[in-house]
A and B are shown apart, each in its own frame.
Chain A
């Protein structure tokens, strides 16, 4: 079991570039989510998905897109990177049935936008 994997670990983008942060889990979890972590702001929910084909917005969705075509994968797309999107991004998954369960977090992606 690899758990939750995220790629890349580090990324530097120029303003205006687009990219996709990859997230995959092999635990057959229904619930997946993306968070960003900024100093003093804790973890803020960007988007989440309660199952394949279903996604919804979290607290800070602007500038990000997601899709969930399979149970395993939940990529996060930055459409046009801005310096304000410099952050550490965490993907998480959980079983999800009968109420939220323990979330398993990936190792994070550190993104810098210049």
Chain B
């Protein structure tokens, strides 16, 4: 079954704190892709990262980092030294090669960065 769980519905942290957003996925495929998207208060959806199932290397992009662990079926996202502009809803998504690569999203985590 293709499923993405983001157990944290809403998180609030004070600016400059680090915060990790959890994503757990379910799939029977060996070939799949994982994504993170950001939706700021303005409403548009912004692509952050794509990772395929054969690449477990962690990724860092500025203050953003992603930890992909196949052993726990998790693809967690960490923001270091958070800023108010990071306030948004963050979505994790999964695509399976056996299902036409259709992309299924989790319910999202709303992140509030408090000044």
| Interface set, chain B 38-56, CB cutoff 8 A to A | 43-45, 47, 50, 52
- For residue A74, CB closer than 8 A to chain B, the reply is no
When A and B form their complex, what is the total count of cross-chain residue pairs whose Cβ atoms lie within 8 Å? 61
| A45 and B50 form a contact (CB under 8 A) | no
* A interface majority secondary structure: strand
| A42 and B108 form a contact (CB under 8 A) | yes
Question: What's the tally of chain B residues with a CB closer than 8 Å to chain A?
Answer: 24
Contact of B91 among A40, A42, A45, A48 (CB under 8 A): A42
- For residue A53, CB closer than 8 A to chain B, the reply is no
Question: What's the tally of chain A residues with a CB closer than 8 Å to chain B?
Answer: 27
* Cβ–Cβ < 8 Å partners of A42 in chain B: 6, 91, 105-108
Given contacts A99-B97, A100-B95, contact A58 B50 (CB under 8 A): no
| Chain A residue at minimal CB-CB distance from B101 | A100
- A interface residues, Cβ below 8 angstroms from B: 31, 33, 35, 40-45, 48, 50, 56, 58-59, 88, 90, 92, 96, 99-105, 107-108
22 examples of A-B residue contacts, CB within 8 angstroms: A33-B102, A35-B105, A40-B9, A42-B6, A42-B107, A43-B91, A43-B93, A45-B103, A48-B100, A48-B102, A88-B43, A96-B101, A99-B33, A99-B95, A99-B97, A99-B101, A100-B33, A100-B95, A103-B47, A103-B103, A105-B45, A107-B44
